Structure 1
Amino acid sequence: MQSPKFKFIRDELDAAFSASKLTEEWKKRVRYQIRKQLVFDPIEYRDYNDKLSSIVRAVRKQILGGIYEVRPAKRYLAEKSRGLCRQMTLVHPVDLLVLERLSRSVYFELKSKAPSKSAFFEPDDGKFIKGINQAEVKYGSFESWKRFQGAVFGFANENKYIVVTDVANFYDFINFQHLRNIVSSLADIRESLLDLLIYVLNKLTWTPDFMPLTQIGMPQIETSATRVLANAMLYEVDKVCEHSAVSNYARFMDDMDIGVETIADAKKIVRDVDLTLQSRQLRLNASKTRILTQKEAYTHFCIDENFHLARLERVIGAKKSSAAGNILLKTYEAWMARDEGPSPGKSSPFHHGNGSKIHKYILGLLYQTETRVPDDDLLWLIRNKPDMRSTAFRYLSYSNNIGTAAFEVLSLLSEGIFVDDASLVDLTGFLLHSRIPKTRKIKIKLQQAIQIIEYSGDLGLHCAIFLSIKFSDLGELQSVIQRHKERIANDYWLARAAAGAIPRFIHSKDSFSGFHDLISELQNEEAQNVARYLLDISEMGSIPQSLKLYLNAPNSSYPQNIYFPKVIILLAACKNAEWKKLLPNIHKTHVALRADPFFKDMGF
């Protein structure tokens, strides 16, 4: 029940959540951003695109009726180092739409009120940038990140000392009352929208064990919505630095670099920034706060290495010549400075402050030129460097000896190396997108991995379902879902993943009805939606042009030029009696469907 005053704020909500604004928000940002969340959807939320009008109507009805409720979010862990994990949040697409609309409604005003042009964060538009893996950018748009890097590199030439620092556990300690005060002081935003914003954020925060809400802790989501708000929390720091005796200042979210001329000036600005943060119940990260000399700054920021790679990148351009690859490989080996084995030696620049960025940079250029580093180097990173793990998995999938590489990675899983959810998802992505040989040894190892992963939390089960879709026979696949039927029935992401297996069973006389009944027994609307979408594709007489374009487009950022959810949709299409007429060139476009032995066994 709403209070009598709700009728007076309905017009404000109606204006902010108009059908046109919600539709634009989805098409321009949200539908791209949900694809960047950690777990992938079996049909890439294409059913949401198809029924967008009804979703928008439902959202408006809930908000304008005062009955909108945030759906349960999913928590997952991403290891930073030594078992310490960052807690991340998966958000239901509808809630992400609402949050993005609220964030976007204040973004331009917040940007116009920014006290410094040296704060370089800007939200990305959700779209993928050709040639850039967004995972390599900490957050925000790639262009704003590049401008930040360029500004910082200039400090070492201009200042005797550089302060390098960031905020300790920034997101975890953002106080929503402080956030509300800051946003309301900067933007002309109605109280009703602020109320809704804080309501959504509170519902997305982690409150375990029936503990009360604390109004502290910004949820970390792979989207720009919360980052726009978090960025405004540091405007006061920007103002302090702009009005202090500092020569240069640059900030990208909570990473700050400040150029000064004396040690005394460095200490003063560290003190003032920390006190400013304390007024908002935040603190600088003591372990990461450093005062560097000009020489130390050159080493910390890997400036020489950055400029060297930038020159090589310009020379390479769009060309992928073997000569360029050889130059890069020689540079890589020189920078590895190996003492022995696959690990970087003690003198390697990869150990410096920004060493991991340089490591990712050169690996990206190497693989653009189709040049490979030793598999053992990547396996060492997977085992020992959590911050490089995702990058190493991605490039290991291009191995010339993928069977051995896959076996080694699966052995790491058995050893218990992976203590977080994100690593399991990276491992799953590696296995799904690599062309792994079908040997008895590998098949046994894969089934053992599925048995381990399916009991490793909800995200582990999500991974196990997708691995089973590719690598298991129909009986094993159905058994995984049957064993966890109750968990799947009550979980948005698991239910959609389970229903994504249905193309494997189409036209299987002995198995289809049993699996279809299993999906029906879940009594989960999302599972029904995914199953219906895939079954419709297997029965339709003609394919809509937008779907045809999607199915025929290669995914060049993956080793076999195809993304696994597209494989699932194509499998449904190839179960259509008219598939040769509907998609006549599909096997020429996507050679992997028959070249990958496990894809072929799925039904291609």
Structure 2
Amino acid sequence: MEQRSQKNYARFMDDIDAGVDTIEDAKKLLRDTDLVLQSRSLRLNAGKTRILTAKEAYSHFRVRDNRFLEQLEARLLAMTSAGESIEAKIKKVSHVFEELYKRGYFKVGNGEKIVKRLIGIYNRFSARIPDILFEYFMSLHPNLRDSALRNVGICGVRKVDFDRIKAVFERGLVCDDYFRLILAKRLVEAKIEYDGTEAGSLKAILTYFPKDDFCSVYAAIWILSRFGLAKTIFKFLEETEFVWTNDESLSRLVAGMWPRLRENKEEFPKYYIYLGERLLPSGVELLEFHKELEGEAVKYKRIKSVIGAKNDSVPLKCTHEKMLVLQSVLRSAEIAEGDKAKLTKTHSYIMSEKSYSAGGVI
């Protein structure tokens, strides 16, 4: 590859783009690459392999669009650095974005990658993509769902967003478990705009997570670990016991929910016995880790620097995983009140979030 293209190539994962001077060189490059792949029991994907002229490549790789996005991002950054409002600029970009999408502008070449990059710019500046585009991406573009879900998670998931997510299931547009896993990840890290309807929305979505399927159970448990009340979580664990008691990764996930189960002061001793009798070894180890955090300052000191740091890259400024550990730490009578106060102040944003402060919403 380096020899044929004179190092004029780029590779990301299983995608390779290379530039050569002639059609003949391009054919030789494809031949040699395919031969190397065959020696490793692989083949080029003929349906995705193309030889382009320089003009076609310029269009396919969206060179002009990428330059525009670079300029747009730089302009928005300059405006925010100067304390200027970017609302009007974002509104104008959104109008153009929506119109170009409706005209099918992003259907050819690397159009989808341009959309992902543009959504990334919206995310960087905490700007919401147009509602109609979120609906289109959820319904028509499985490859864009993750980017779109991250955007609404940053800006705040509303009832209308929950409804559009639910519609994806209702219309039979989920063909594998990947969407459930991505949805769980994005909902658990998201800001939620609470209006009293979120519990019903979450319950409705969870009905589309089969209780006899590994990935669905994994995703549902993760969602419940943030939004579920202790009784709701325990009921789900009982209903799916035959799934999670036979897998180490699920066992650890269940054990990690202990801080949420612990919030039921009357029932938690029963929960502890239940988990202790059913968790696999790695799950028992994690359960005991949380129990020790509740009673030993030594355990806390080992993770103090990690748990005391913010996570500015996620919407709530603290990961859900860290928040679960933090809940165990704050229950400890052995940890200095000053340390607890500092942790509470550092993570005040996530701790004031309703699903945590109220011990769950469903």
Report if TM-score (shorter chain) is over 0.5.
yes
- What letter is aligned with 1:250? Y
Q: Could you tell me how far 1:265 is from its partner in structure 2? A: 4.1
For the pair 1:555 / 2:311, whether they are aligned, the reply is: yes
Written as runs of structure 1 = structure 2, the 5 A alignment for 1:10-409 is: 238=1, 242=3, 244=4, 249-252=8-11, 253-316=13-76, 320=80, 322=84, 326-327=88-89, 330-331=92-93, 333-338=95-100, 344-348=101-105, 350-399=106-155, 402-409=158-165
Provide the rounded CA distance (Å) in 1 between the counterparts of 2:174 and 2:235. 25
Residues 505 and 282 of structure 1, relative CA distance in 2, 3 Å threshold: closer
Q: Could you tell me how far 1:401 is from its partner in structure 2? A: 5.9
Q: Could you tell me how far 1:311 is from its partner in structure 2? A: 3.4
Aligned counterpart, 1:430: 186
Aligned counterpart, 1:71: none
- What letter is aligned with 2:99? A
Residue 519 of structure 1 aligns to a residue in which SS? Answer: helix
For the pair 1:530 / 2:290, whether they are aligned, the reply is: no
Written as runs of structure 1 = structure 2, the 5 A alignment for 1:437-448 is: 437-438=193-194, 441-448=197-204
Q: 2:326 aligns with which of 570, 584, 591?
A: 570
Aligned counterpart, 2:231: 475
Could you say what the CA RMSD is over the residues aligned between the two structures, in angstroms? 2.8
List per-residue Cα deviations over 1:20-61 (Å, max 9, x = no partner). xxxxxxxxxxxxxxxxxxxxxxxxxxxxxxxxxxxxxxxxxx
Aligned counterpart, 1:598: 355
Structure 2 segments unaligned to the other structure (5+ residues): none
Q: 1:586 aligns with which of 335, 338, 343?
A: 343
Provide the rounded CA distance (Å) in 1 between the counterparts of 2:294 and 2:173. 41
- What letter is aligned with 2:181? V
Residues 398 and 317 of structure 1, relative CA distance in 2, 3 Å threshold: closer
Residues 336 and 540 of structure 1, relative CA distance in 2, 3 Å threshold: same
Q: Could you tell me how far 1:419 is from its partner in structure 2? A: 2.1
Whether the 8 Å CA contact 1:320–1:368 is kept in 2: the answer is no
Residues 346 and 588 of structure 1, relative CA distance in 2, 3 Å threshold: same
Aligned counterpart, 2:205: 449
Whether the 8 Å CA contact 2:234–2:271 is kept in 1: the answer is yes
Whether the 8 Å CA contact 1:593–1:599 is kept in 2: the answer is yes
List per-residue Cα deviations over 1:118-143 (Å, max 9, x = no partner). xxxxxxxxxxxxxxxxxxxxxxxxxx
Q: Could you tell me how far 1:478 is from its partner in structure 2? A: 0.7
Residue 372 of structure 1 aligns to a residue in which SS? Answer: coil
Q: 1:462 aligns with which of 215, 218, 231?
A: 218
Q: Could you tell me how far 1:461 is from its partner in structure 2? A: 0.7
For the pair 1:492 / 2:260, whether they are aligned, the reply is: no
Residue 435 of structure 1 aligns to a residue in which SS? Answer: coil
List per-residue Cα deviations over 1:469-526 (Å, max 9, x = no partner). 2222222211111122232122011101111121123364421121111111115111
Residues 437 and 456 of structure 1, relative CA distance in 2, 3 Å threshold: farther
Q: Could you tell me how far 1:541 is from its partner in structure 2? A: 3.7
Whether the 8 Å CA contact 1:428–1:463 is kept in 2: the answer is yes
Residues 449 and 498 of structure 1, relative CA distance in 2, 3 Å threshold: same
Provide the rounded CA distance (Å) in 2 between the counterparts of 1:446 and 1:371. 24
List per-residue Cα deviations over 1:166-215 (Å, max 9, x = no partner). xxxxxxxxxxxxxxxxxxxxxxxxxxxxxxxxxxxxxxxxxxxxxxxxxx
Provide the rounded CA distance (Å) in 2 between the counterparts of 1:507 and 1:602. 7
Q: Return the TM-score normalized by structure 1.
A: 0.54
Residues 501 and 282 of structure 1, relative CA distance in 2, 3 Å threshold: closer
- What letter is aligned with 1:286? A
Provide the rounded CA distance (Å) in 2 between the counterparts of 1:335 and 1:523. 50
Residues 291 and 319 of structure 1, relative CA distance in 2, 3 Å threshold: same
Q: Could you tell me how far 1:451 is from its partner in structure 2? A: 3.7
Aligned counterpart, 1:60: none
Q: Could you tell me how far 1:532 is from its partner in structure 2? A: 0.8
Aligned counterpart, 2:176: 420
Provide the rounded CA distance (Å) in 2 between the counterparts of 1:472 and 1:302. 44
- What letter is aligned with 2:349? A
- What letter is aligned with 2:287? A
Residue 257 of structure 1 aligns to a residue in which SS? Answer: strand
Q: Could you tell me how far 1:336 is from its partner in structure 2? A: 4.3
Provide the rounded CA distance (Å) in 1 between the counterparts of 2:24 and 2:191. 58
Whether the 8 Å CA contact 2:156–2:191 is kept in 1: the answer is no
Provide the rounded CA distance (Å) in 2 between the counterparts of 1:440 and 1:261. 62
Q: Could you tell me how far 1:594 is from its partner in structure 2? A: 4.2
Whether the 8 Å CA contact 2:156–2:193 is kept in 1: the answer is no
Count of aligned residue pairs for this structure pair: 356
Q: Which range is displaced more, 363-372 or 515-524?
A: 363-372
Q: Return the TM-score normalized by structure 2.
A: 0.86
Residue 453 of structure 1 aligns to a residue in which SS? Answer: coil
List per-residue Cα deviations over 1:374-396 (Å, max 9, x = no partner). 23312321222122221111111
Q: Could you tell me how far 1:284 is from its partner in structure 2? A: 1.9
Provide the rounded CA distance (Å) in 2 between the counterparts of 1:496 and 1:318. 45
Structure 1 segments unaligned to the other structure (5+ residues): 1-237, 339-343
Residues 414 and 294 of structure 1, relative CA distance in 2, 3 Å threshold: same
Q: Could you tell me how far 1:406 is from its partner in structure 2? A: 2.4
Provide the rounded CA distance (Å) in 1 between the counterparts of 2:74 and 2:153. 26
Residue 103 of structure 2 aligns to a residue in which SS? Answer: coil
Residue 163 of structure 2 aligns to a residue in which SS? Answer: helix
Residue 398 of structure 1 aligns to a residue in which SS? Answer: helix
Residue 323 of structure 2 aligns to a residue in which SS? Answer: helix
Residue 17 of structure 2 aligns to a residue in which SS? Answer: strand
- Percent identical pairs in the alignment equals 26
Residue 602 of structure 1 aligns to a residue in which SS? Answer: coil
Provide the rounded CA distance (Å) in 2 between the counterparts of 1:335 and 1:461. 37
Provide the rounded CA distance (Å) in 1 between the counterparts of 2:16 and 2:120. 26
Q: Could you tell me how far 1:448 is from its partner in structure 2? A: 3.2
Residues 587 and 414 of structure 1, relative CA distance in 2, 3 Å threshold: farther
Provide the rounded CA distance (Å) in 1 between the counterparts of 2:254 and 2:282. 10
Provide the rounded CA distance (Å) in 2 between the counterparts of 1:472 and 1:258. 50
Q: Which range is displaced more, 555-564 or 392-401?
A: 392-401
Whether the 8 Å CA contact 2:154–2:190 is kept in 1: the answer is yes
Aligned counterpart, 1:504: 260
